[in-house]
Structure 1
Amino acid sequence: MAAGLAVLTRGVRGVARYFGGVLGADAYAKYLEHHRAAGHVEAPLTEREFWRDRTDRQDSNPQGRCC
């Protein structure tokens, strides 16, 4: 029973990660990973600054998106 529950839990987490990726919820984590890998000297944006900047860029340069 416990093994079945563990498999189900992993499956649900996998589905949640998939939809999070599709919806862009993991964009900040990807940004931090890129920032670290690129060797930037300055500190990365805070999460709040990142989402504000992303929204501002999308508003000023609208492209094919649903909303």
Structure 2
Amino acid sequence: MSPSTVRRWLIEAVLKPWQHRSWIFLTDSDFRAKAARVLDLCARTWQGQPLGEDEYVISADERTSVQ
């Protein structure tokens, strides 16, 4: 697939990822701390301690329109 094909698809789909900077640059100054908490939970740890066998991590999306 050539770069010109990808460029044409993006133009036809009205997608312009190069115009959106929030996905390239962090806009939340506290992002690293928030991400670290989420990554720790994915690794089944909380505040440096492993989760117990009877503890669970539940993930829910706030965007109700996302199917």
Query: Scaled by the length of structure 2, what TM-score is found?
Result: 0.29
Q: Give 1 or 2: higher strand fraction.
A: 2
Query: TM-score, normalization: structure 1?
Result: 0.29
Bigger relative contact order, structure 1 or 2 (CA pairs below 8 A, ≥6 apart): 1
